Amino acid sequence: MESKNSKIKVAVLGATGMVGQRFIQLLENHPWFEVAALAGSSRSAGKKYKDACRWYLEGDMPAAVADMQVLPAAPPMPVQLVFSALPADVAVDIEAEFAQAGYTVCSNSSAYRYDEDVPILIPEINAEHLELLELQKAQRGWPGRIVTSPNCTTTGAVFPLKALDDLFGVEKVMLVSMQAVSGAGYPGLPYLSIIDNVIPFIGGEEKKLELEPRLLLGKMQAGQRISAPTVISAQANRVAVSDGHTICLSVKLNKTAEIEEVKHALQNYAWPQDIQELPSAPKLPMILREEDDRPQPHLDRGAENGMAVSIGRLRACPILDLRLVSVVHNTLRGAASGSILNAELLKARGYLD
């Protein structure tokens, strides 16, 4: 095992929020990374982390960060890589400053997620999009770089879509999500708003869900990402669940496929060997449940430490071709853990040398 001193030092921007806390929790005993700096808003900066932050997660705040002083979210910082859990409106400037100052930024925000020269990355899905970093360097001249993670619901949907697209081509997708409350951060939704209720609206979400899978399924061509031609219709709902988004999908394929072939495609999804060996990689990124009534967020969100997407209810659709249900842990696979896996891929592929 490496000595602690040889770990790569990282910072967490937006460290007091819910995703920031997840980063800290997940990085506590990470074999490659070590939290060396925490940044927060002007309200937090200057305080000790334990005084600036109300810890929301189960278990106690890791002792190693409790007395760390919260810094303003700006370079320089004594780190090599920066995880950003910033809101999009402030991320747009701050993430650029860090990239400009030579840092590698792994971002959960949507600030740069849709730019043609910024990878929106899930290692098991589109690692080859890292090639966009050359375009990014060419266009922006940054000594550092920005890599982004997709929206949490996109993440849950795109795994089965990718497996299907590889073999049969995905032409159309009807998507209805039932999203957990933690997706709105903390404090997020008041109890009185969501208990005994469904809210059939999440601001801005449907637009993201209709675009992001097309980017993730895009093919690289001459250093550029060509979006997939898939047409997506999304309906986003908030339900009374703490963690774990459930997604009902109906899919039209380019090429006819029997349910058994689809099953086979999902169970035998191929992904690069080097990614399978990353510390946070799941053994399988997709788990196919055969029970009638699975996946369920309560039972399946924790699969493979929250890194595996669970899929079930595979069956034909009388209108499109195929129906299925997907469950993803939105604050792990769909947020903090997903970004950490991105960082691990960057390290493994030499971007942090």
Residues found near a copy of itself in the complex (CB under 8 A): 56, 58-59, 172-174, 176, 178, 181-182, 186-201, 203, 210, 231-233, 235, 237, 239-242, 246, 248, 250, 292-299, 302-303, 312-313, 317-320, 323, 325
Min separation Cβ 194 and a copy of itself, Å? 5
Min separation Cβ 77 and a copy of itself, Å? 30
Distant-in-sequence, close-in-space partners of 215: CB < 8 Å, separation ≥ 6: 114, 120, 150, 225, 227, 228
Min separation Cβ 57 and a copy of itself, Å? 8
Cα Rg for the chain, rounded, in angstroms?
20
In the complex with a copy of itself, the residue whose CB is nearer, 36 or 236, is 236
In the complex with a copy of itself, the residue whose CB is nearer, 134 or 201, is 201
User: Could you give the CA distance from residue 158 to residue 141 in angstroms, rounded to a whole number?
Assistant: 31
In the complex with a copy of itself, the residue whose CB is nearer, 250 or 280, is 250
Instruction: Tell me if residue 106 is catalytic.
Output: no
CB atoms within 10 A of CB 293: 10
In the complex with a copy of itself, the residue whose CB is nearer, 1 or 192, is 192
Omega before 187 within 30 of 0, i.e. cis? yes
84-110 burial: b if 16+ Cβ within 10 Å, else e: bbbbeebbeebbbebbeeebbbbbbbb
* Cα end-to-end span (Å), the chain: 19
Say which DSSP state 58 is in. Answer: S
Say which DSSP state 117 is in. Answer: T
Min separation Cβ 52 and a copy of itself, Å? 16
Residues pairing with 249 in the sheet: 175, 324
In the complex with a copy of itself, the residue whose CB is nearer, 191 or 353, is 191
Min separation Cβ 298 and a copy of itself, Å? 4
Three-state DSSP class for residue 328: strand
Distant-in-sequence, close-in-space partners of 5: CB < 8 Å, separation ≥ 6: none
User: Could you give the CA distance from residue 42 to residue 30 in angstroms, rounded to a whole number?
Assistant: 28
User: Could you give the CA distance from residue 39 to residue 291 in angstroms, rounded to a whole number?
Assistant: 44
User: Could you give the CA distance from residue 196 to residue 18 in angstroms, rounded to a whole number?
Assistant: 24
In the complex with a copy of itself, the residue whose CB is nearer, 285 or 297, is 297
User: Could you give the CA distance from residue 334 to residue 180 in angstroms, rounded to a whole number?
Assistant: 12
Min separation Cβ 231 and a copy of itself, Å? 5
Kindly name the residue from 106, 129, 152, 329 that is annotated as catalytic.
Answer: 152
User: Could you give the CA distance from residue 78 to residue 114 in angstroms, rounded to a whole number?
Assistant: 29
User: Could you give the CA distance from residue 240 to residue 189 in angstroms, rounded to a whole number?
Assistant: 10
Kindly name the residue from 53, 106, 129, 245 that is annotated as catalytic.
Answer: 245
Omega before 119 within 30 of 0, i.e. cis? no
In the complex with a copy of itself, the residue whose CB is nearer, 80 or 326, is 326
Min separation Cβ 181 and a copy of itself, Å? 5
Q: Is 299 left (phi over 0), alpha (psi -120 to 50) or beta?
A: alpha
Q: Which residues are catalytic?
A: 152, 245
